[in-house]
Amino acid sequence: MRILVVTPFFYPHVGGSQSYMEDLYAYVLSSHKDVRVDVLCYNTLGSPKTQTYKRIRIIRISCWNILTDQFCIPHPFELISFLFSHRSSYDLIHASTRFFDSSLWTPLWAKIIGVPCILTDHCVGHPIHKNLLIGHIATLIDNTLVRVSLQAYDRVFATSKAAQSFLKKTFGINAKVHYAGVDTTFFTPSEKRTSRKIRVVYAGRMIGSKGVEELFETAKKMPFLQWIFVGPGTLEKQLQRRVQNEDLNHIRIRGEVDKRTLARILSCSDIFVHPSFHHEGFPGILLEAGASKLAVIATDVGGSKEIVIPNKTGILIPPKDQDALQKAVMHLVGNKMLRKNLATALYNHVRKHFDVKKTSEQFIASLLPARQ
């Protein structure tokens, strides 16, 4: 079986939807020798045109970055050349995330070459942007062009029940839920040291809609804790300058790190905070934090509550609620037994339901109807 994954952003770009495809197909290739996977993506970071990574062959098309780390447009002649020369190369086309231009042309190309085409959508809600005009234009496109393109796919998958519900209510699309998975042999817990300060960590993109600025303001008020912010994005340099200028020695802005470093940071931390008000589908970082046995605080957005069950596997708070965020952190800081119980419950929940071996095999089984 020859599969082409079409996604604007892929390795070395960092993001949840990229990690979803990377983890899924890395496992599939390691366990199914009859499968070959290529990824067609846009060259947003000036990487090599072609590269093999985790047995996945990556083909990168030159592009224009319209909105950094959010939206880009491929060079048309280079894209068309690839599509024409590979019109007989694949048995299945798998597009990632609606709204991107690739989600519009992928099903059309698949129809032309007579190959089944599926989409995995991650977003719960229309695209958002701090510029209201851009946000309104994005919503208009979502309700028109995207609505039409969704009907052209043979099957649509959603990464959470929340995303499934949004697709049904907004576009009338019956999507099947397929959750992300986590490698529970890679993200593992370590013994927590009691001789140091409690360590609180955030990992994700450093952009406004992820709630990073709100969390930073909370961290400023709690110098009795160690705070680590991990991930790339437009806010990274700004926060680094603030740490230096305001002498915030208890806060570290690590920026982008590789997965091995992220796993090490998580394993030796105590609390993970996910303060996003982004249109989250199913935040894979919550699975990684759970597999690392951290107590988790997350905002009630998208599919987060499908991982963080309130007061059972973590603490769920309203988005953009600074007071609730501070209270949740202090509640965990002041109650060691609660931290331990929530961390253990989430750890067991993730290992039972979201191990990548289980979720990937479920997905492969789901592909069979699309191939018939």
Could you write out the three-class secondary structure of the chain?
CEEEEECCCCCCCCCHHHHHHHHHHHHHHHHCCCCEEEEEEECCCCCCCEEEECCEEEEEECEEEEECCCEEEECHHHHHHHHHHCCCCCCEEEEECCCCHHHHHHHHHHHHHCCCEEEEECCCCCCCCCCHHHHHHHHHHHHHHHHHHHCCCCEEEECCHHHHHHHHHHHCCCCEECCCCECCCCCCCCCCCCCCCCEEEEECCCCHHHCHHHHHHHHHCCCCCEEEEECCCCCHHHHHHHHHHCCCCCEEEEECCCHHHHHHHHHCCCEEEECCCCCCCCCHHHHHHHHCCCEEEEECCCCHHHCCCECCCEEEECCCCHHHHHHHHHHHHCCHHHHHHHHHHHHHHHHHHCEHHHHHHHHHHHHHHHHC
pLDDT band at 134 (very low <50, low <70, confident <90, very high): confident
Asked if 152 and 233 sit in the same domain, the reply is no
Q: Which residue range(s) make up the domain with 119?
A: 2-181+356-371
Asked if 171 and 63 sit in the same domain, the reply is yes
Asked if 299 and 166 sit in the same domain, the reply is no
Does residue 219 belong to any structural domain of this protein?
A: yes
pLDDT at 371 over 60: no
CATH number of 18's domain: 3.40.50.2000
Asked if 14 and 84 sit in the same domain, the reply is yes
State the average pLDDT over residues 47-69: 93
Asked if 362 and 298 sit in the same domain, the reply is no
Asked if 219 and 327 sit in the same domain, the reply is yes
What is the spatial order of strands in the sheet that 315-317 belongs to? 251-255, 226-230, 199-203, 271-274, 295-299, 315-317
Average pLDDT, the chain: 94
Asked if 82 and 218 sit in the same domain, the reply is no
Does residue 95 belong to any structural domain of this protein?
A: yes
Does residue 194 belong to any structural domain of this protein?
A: no
The answer to whether residues 304 and 281 touch, using CB atoms and an 8 Å cutoff, is no
Asked if 307 and 364 sit in the same domain, the reply is no
Asked if 330 and 364 sit in the same domain, the reply is no
Asked if 35 and 122 sit in the same domain, the reply is yes
The structure tokens listed for 339 are 């931290």
CA distance 356 to 223: 37
Does residue 51 belong to any structural domain of this protein?
A: yes
pLDDT digits (tens, 9 = 90+) for 179-218: 999 999 999 998 766 668 999 999 999 999 899 999 999 9
Number of structural domains (the chain) is 2
Does residue 192 belong to any structural domain of this protein?
A: no
Asked if 167 and 37 sit in the same domain, the reply is yes
Does residue 86 belong to any structural domain of this protein?
A: yes
Does residue 188 belong to any structural domain of this protein?
A: no
Q: Could you tell me which residue, 343 or 16, shows the higher pLDDT? A: 343
Asked if 221 and 303 sit in the same domain, the reply is yes
Does residue 248 belong to any structural domain of this protein?
A: yes
Look at residue 194 in the predicted model and tell me its pLDDT.
Answer: 62
pLDDT band at 287 (very low <50, low <70, confident <90, very high): very high
